[in-house]
Structure 1
């Protein structure tokens, strides 16, 4: 179960980052910081919270839940509102449904697998790649903002 949580959280963070990175380009004409907050939490989920629940199961599941809620409520929820209420841009369902499904499955798996344990070396091996990539992408994003 912990490996499924790990994989679904990687997909969640990567999907949201790649999906909303397109909206953060100059052509999108963004008028708020909500997309930046959403992408920052996607990087946090991908780089840190995808593996933190290996070492601290209850704290990791709680942080993963909080990060998903903040990530989703800061900006993707606006896409959902625009889809049903606004007359302007109509996002496709591929922009709305996968983050919700991946988020709920990740949270469910994190809470369900909090009592299982993995080998120490497997935990470390699974933690290193997303951490390095998360630092790289987060550092690059921070550098570009400065």
Structure 2
């Protein structure tokens, strides 16, 4: 659920292009590619670093959006949305994204693993559905910046 509550689906489906990215779809696909560092470092360390990276990037993007929406000239900082989104996706991909599934498989006992993983998958998709369904409504109500701060 934390994986979905980070806003990954909202970022993937709606925000990357609306943030002003001119990156071609091939480059976006590379950014979302499978991580290579997950086999080289301790899983706990990667989860912590991944979470901190996601928090930092979404907080910076939220602050940027709040400043932009309040009328402050942020033209000299136009690189922030795309760079923070790239940093968010990279942080997600080398920790929170793949490792949540790996750790959950290892945590559950063999006796309940099938049922527990089925519950995890259902919870993941239910939360993802609600995030995807209501992201635009929340953004329209409170703005993009506060929405990112909530995700962070």
Computing the radius of gyration over CA atoms, which structure comes out larger, 1 or 2?
2
TM-score by length of 1: 0.36
Answer 1 or 2: higher relative contact order, Cα 8 Å, separation at least 6.
2
